[in-house]
Structure 1
Amino acid sequence: MTVTEGPESARVELAAGGSLQGAIEGDVRVFRAVPYAEPPVGALRWRPARPHPGWEGVRDATVDGPSAPQMSVEGGDPVLGGHGAPPFDDDCLTLNVWTPAAAGAARPVLVWIHGGGFVSGSGSLPLYSGETFARDGDLVVVSVNYRIGPLGYLYPGEKDGDPAGNFWLTDQLAALRWVKENIAAFGGDPDLVTVAGQSGGAVSTAALAGHPEARELFRRVILQSPPFGLRLPTPAEYQERTEAYLDIAGVDSVEQLRALPWQLLIGAGGGLFAKTMRWGYWPTPFLPVVDDITLSRHPAQTLLHGAATDIDVLIGWTREEATFGFALDEAHAAATKEQVVARLADTFGDDGAAEAYAAYARSRPGARPADVLMDLISDELFRVPCLELAEARAALGRPVWAYQFDLPTPAYEGRLGAAHCLELPFVFDNFDAWSHAPFLAGLDPRVRDGLARTMHRAWIAFIRTGDPNHPEMPAWERYDQRTRTTMRFDSVVGAVGDLAGPVRRLYAARGRSRS
C-alpha cells in the first residue's frame, strides 16, 4: 500500500487492489467519493451494507460524489443557511479522505460522522472538510456519507420479511471496516482512530461504540451535542411509523417502495415529518430503533458497558441547544406560561411542573416563558443526558472530559444565544466554509478566531493523545464526581466546577421523586 506523490496529484494503491487518483487541495491531498460499500439500490434498498467489490485500474477520486437523498430547501434555512445540496442519489455510500502532503510515520485518524436530525447532511459538505484537521494536526481525516431519512432509518420489520433495521449503522460500520483495512495507504494508523460526530452523528458515534467490533475499529469518541434524551422505539413501536409512511407513499409494502424513485421516498418523508410533529418537542420523523440485532441498547448507555468503557470520551453541548429549532418559530417564541407549564408536566409531572418552572425562571433573571421552554428542551434532550453519561462514566472511573459551549451569537438580536451547531465552525476552525450561515452574523472576528484556535487545538490534542489539554488553554481536568469539571468555551475560556449543578440537581430530584 503506497502513496505516489507528485506536484499536482496523489495516487494510492488500496489493500484489496485498485488505485485512487486524488488531488492536492491547499496543503493536503484529498481523495473524494471513494466507495466503501455496494450501492444500496434496487434489491439492496433497506438491506445491510455490503463491502464494495473494488475495481481494477485507477479510479478518479478528485470530485465529490452524490450525497444521500434528502430534502433541500432553495435558499437554505434561516439558521445554517442549508445543510445539504444536490446532487443526491441512492448510490451514495462513499467517503472522503484528507491526508497531509508529506509522507511519514502513521498518523492518528479522525473519522467524522455528520449530523442532521437523521434526515439531512453530507460528509462532502465544505463545512466538514478535513483540511484544517489534517493540516494543523498532522492527522488523516475521513468523512462518511451514509443513508439518512427513509432510506436509512425506516424500519421495514415484518413488512419486509426481514427484521434487520438501522441501515445507517450498517453503513457506518462498513466505512469503519474500510478504514481499518485501507487507511495505512493514506498515512494513517488503523490502531489509532477517533470517531467524532455532532447531533445525530454523535448518536451514531455512541451506537458504534456498543458494537462488538468497536474496540478493533477505534479507540476514542467525541460526542458533540448528542440528543441522548430522545426516546428510541422498539421494533413493535416503530411499526406505526412504518405503516404511516407506507400510507403516505401510497403503497402497501416495502417491496413496492423499492420500485419508487428516491424523490418520491423523500417526499413521503416530508409527510411523515408533518404527521409526527408535536409542540414543544424536536421533530424526529425517523429514529434509530433498538432492535436487539444491530442496536442492543440506547446509544446513551453503550459507553457504560463491556469493552466500550475503555474508550476515551469527550462530550459536550451548547448552552442554548433548542434555540436552533424553536427561537425563530413564532408558535414557540410566543409561548405562554400556561403552555410551558403544561409542557413541563410531561417531564416533571403535574405536581412538579410549577416548581420546575420557578426553578428555570430563577436561573435566568427576566426569563420569558419562551426562555424557560428553550432551556427545558435543551436540558431534557441534550445537556442532562450528557451529564448523566459523564456522571456514570466518572462513577466507573473511566475517562471522560466534558464541555459547554457558551459563546452567544448576536444574530437575530441575540435570540439564538449559543445555539445547536454553533460550535461546529469553531471546532473545525474553518469560518470561510460557513460564510453562508446566517447564525454567525455579527461575531467579533478577534473573539471568534481566538476561541476557534483554542477549541480546534483541544480536539487535535484529544485525537492524538486522548487528552484535550494543550499549552494555549487553561488546564482541563477529567470530569469526576468530586469537582465535576466542565470546560466553558466562551470569549474567556475556563474550567468550571459543576457548571450545570442547578439543572443536574433539578433532574436528580425528579428521578428521586419518581423512584
Structure 2
Amino acid sequence: MDNTPDRTPVVDLAAGRLRGAVEEGIAVFRAVPYAAPPVGPLRWRPAQAHPGWSGVRDATADGPSAPQMYMEGGDPVLGGHGSPPFDDDCLTLNIWTPAADGGRRPVLLWIHGGGFVSGSGSLPNYSGETFARDGDLVVVSINYRIGPLGYLYFGAEGQDGQDDPEAGNFWLTDQLAALRWVHENIARFGGDPGSITVAGQSGGAMSTAALAGHPEAQRLFQRVILQSPPFGLHIPTPAEYLERTAAYLQFAGANNADELRDLPWPRLIEAAGGLFGHTMEWGYWPTPFLPVRDGVTLREHPAQTLLHGAAADIDVMIGWTREEANFGFALDDRYAVATQEQVLGRIAETFADDADEVYDAYARTRPGARPVDVLMDLITDELFRVPCVELAEARAGAGRPVWAYQFDLPTPACGGRLAAAHCLELPFVFDNFDKWSHAPLIEGIDPALRDGLAQSMHQAWIAFVRTGNPNHPGMPTWERYGAESRATMRFDSVVTSVGDLAGHSRTLHEGRTRP
C-alpha cells in the first residue's frame, strides 16, 4: 500500500481500514474511534473497546467534541476553547504523521486542558502539524469525556455491580484507552510504540500525571511534559465528592445515575452551570468538576505519582507561567475592587496568623501592587508554581531527571493586565500563531520577538520528545533541575537558565501542607 505523503493515505488496523488525507504534506487521520461510544448504558461507565467497522472508514473530517458549555462569540482571553458540533459520542483521536510507513518515529500524545469542563483535541490550536513537520514526529490529540459526563462520581450507587463498583474518573479510563490504542496501533502510522511522550497543559497536565500513576499506563510511555499542572488543587475523597454529586443531581432534577442516563446531554451541561455557582469560593479558581481519589483508578494525588515506583523512571519536563492566575482574575471587575482586608482573609486560610507578613512579602515584589495583584500572585503560587517546584525538588533530591521552566513573556493584550498568564505559552510551544488569530491573549505581541521565542520553545519540546532532553543548538544550555542548582529555564525576550528562579515563592510557602 503506497502511503507516501503525496498519496491518499490508507491504513489497515485490526478494527478496520482508515482513509485519511494529506494536508500541507502531512498525512492526517481525523475522528479515529479509540473506544466505544459512551452513550446509553455506557454513560458513566469505564471506556470500552470499540467494536470496529466494515469497509473503509473516512477519517478526513473532525468528529464531534465532548459536550461542554459554549459561549457564542468566545471569551475575552482565549476567544473560545471548544465549538460545535458537540456530542457524547466523542471518544476519537486525530493523528498527524509525515508518512504512514515503517518509520518508527517518536510519538507525542497531547491531552488538552480546559478546567475539566472545556476543550477539544480537534481545536486548530492543538494541531499536530507543526510538530510532525518540524520534528519528524507522529502526533496524536484526543477527545475525552469532560464536565459531568467525565467527572461525576457515584460510588457504588449506579454502577450495577460492575467489577470496580466504586470506580470513577471516567475521563481517565478514556485517556488510558486512547494511550492503549496508540501503543497498539501507532506503528501503522509511522510511529514508535516504544518512544511515547504524553504531554498536556493545565487539566491535561493533571491528566498526564494521573496516567503516570496508573499501573498499566505507566508501562506504555517514557516521558511526560507537564505544562501548568494545577497540582495545588485539593483532589476530593469519595465521601467529599458524593456531596458534590448530590448537589449536581438537584440541579439536574434527578434522583440517581439511572435517571441522569435518561437525560439528553444538553440538559446535563445546563445543570453544570448550577454546580459552578454552588462550588465557587471567593479567591479560588472555579472547579465544579474534579478528579476523585477513588482508590481504584486514582490512588493518590497526581502530584505524587512521578516520585516513586516505575513512574520515577519517566523523564519529566515541568513548567508554569509567571502570572498564571491573571488568566482567571485580571479581567474580572469583581476582583478589581477587592480590598486589602478581603485578600488578607483569603491569605489567612492558608497562612493563618502570618497573613499580614505574607501580604507584605507579595506586595514588595510588585511596586504599587493592588490587593488583586497580591491575590493573583498567591493563587499562582498555591495552585501552580509552588507545587510544581515541590515536584522538581523531590525528583532532584532522589536523583531523578526533571527539567523545569518558567514562561515570563508578558502579553500586551488587555492593557497588559494579563501579563504572562495561564495558556500564553501554548502558541509558542506549538509555534502556530496562525491558528490562534481568534485569541485576544496574543494581540500586540511583537512578531519578531514572538517568532524567535516560539522557535526556541518549539524545538526544545521536539528535542525532549525525541531524546528525553530539551537541549538543542538554538538556545542556551538547559540544565536539569538540581537539588542545589535549582536550574530553571526562563522563556522571555531573552532565553536564559536561572538558578532558583522561583526561590521567593518556594521559601514563602516552605512547610505548608499541600492538599
Structure 1 residue 262 corresponds to structure 2 residue 265: yes
Give the secondary structure class of the aligned counterpart of 2:342: helix
Of 20, 29, 33, 1:22 maps to 20
Q: How does 1:62-73 map to 2 (within 5 A)?
A: 62-73=60-71
Write the distance in 1 (CA, Å) between the matches of 2:36 and 2:100.
32
Match of 1:13 in 2: 12
Q: How does 1:290-439 map to 2 (within 5 A)?
A: 290-349=293-352, 351-439=353-441
Match of 2:110 in 1: 112
Note the C-alpha offset of 1:159. Answer: 2.9
Note the C-alpha offset of 1:27. Answer: 2.0
Structure 1 residue 242 corresponds to structure 2 residue 245: yes
Query: What is the TM-score normalised by the length of structure 1?
Result: 0.97
Match of 2:491 in 1: 489
Note the C-alpha offset of 1:158. Answer: 3.2
> For the Cα contact (< 8 Å) 1:3–1:186, is it kept in 2?
no
Give the secondary structure class of the aligned counterpart of 2:255: coil
Write the distance in 2 (CA, Å) between the matches of 1:204 and 1:158.
24
> For the Cα contact (< 8 Å) 1:484–1:497, is it kept in 2?
yes
Note the C-alpha offset of 1:451. Answer: 0.3
Of 57, 72, 75, 2:73 maps to 75
Write the distance in 1 (CA, Å) between the matches of 2:485 and 2:346.
32
Match of 1:134 in 2: 132
- CA deviation profile, 1:212-259 (whole Å, cap 9, x unmatched): 123421000000000000001011111111000000000111000000
Write the distance in 2 (CA, Å) between the matches of 1:346 and 1:308.
33
Match of 2:47 in 1: 49
Write the distance in 2 (CA, Å) between the matches of 1:344 and 1:386.
20
Q: How many residues align?
A: 509
- CA deviation profile, 1:372-410 (whole Å, cap 9, x unmatched): 011000000000000000000001100000000000000
Note the C-alpha offset of 1:458. Answer: 0.1
Write the distance in 1 (CA, Å) between the matches of 2:113 and 2:309.
26
Give the secondary structure class of the aligned counterpart of 1:9: coil
Match of 1:232 in 2: 235
Write the distance in 2 (CA, Å) between the matches of 1:338 and 1:8.
66
Note the C-alpha offset of 1:6. Answer: 6.6
> For the Cα contact (< 8 Å) 2:102–2:191, is it kept in 1?
no
Match of 2:152 in 1: 154
Q: How does 1:178-257 map to 2 (within 5 A)?
A: 178-257=181-260
Closer, same or farther: CA 17–373 of 1 in aligned 2, 3 Å: closer
> For the Cα contact (< 8 Å) 2:206–2:302, is it kept in 1?
yes
> For the Cα contact (< 8 Å) 1:3–1:13, is it kept in 2?
no
Closer, same or farther: CA 219–6 of 1 in aligned 2, 3 Å: closer
Closer, same or farther: CA 102–185 of 1 in aligned 2, 3 Å: closer
**Fraction of identical pairs, as percent:** 74
Write the distance in 1 (CA, Å) between the matches of 2:3 and 2:259.
47
Instruction: Name stretches of at least 5 consecutive residues in structure 2 with no aligned partner.
Output: 160-164
Range with greater deviation from structure 2 (502-511 or 244-253): 502-511
Closer, same or farther: CA 105–4 of 1 in aligned 2, 3 Å: closer
2:334 is matched by which residue type in structure 1? A
Note the C-alpha offset of 1:3. Answer: 6.1
Instruction: Name stretches of at least 5 consecutive residues in structure 1 with no aligned partner.
Output: none
Q: How does 1:280-299 map to 2 (within 5 A)?
A: 280-299=283-302
Give the secondary structure class of the aligned counterpart of 2:316: strand
Note the C-alpha offset of 1:305. Answer: 1.5
Match of 2:162 in 1: none
Match of 2:477 in 1: 475
Match of 1:125 in 2: 123
Query: What is the TM-score normalised by the length of structure 2?
Result: 0.97
Closer, same or farther: CA 283–17 of 1 in aligned 2, 3 Å: closer
Closer, same or farther: CA 510–70 of 1 in aligned 2, 3 Å: closer
RMSD, aligned α-carbons: 1.2
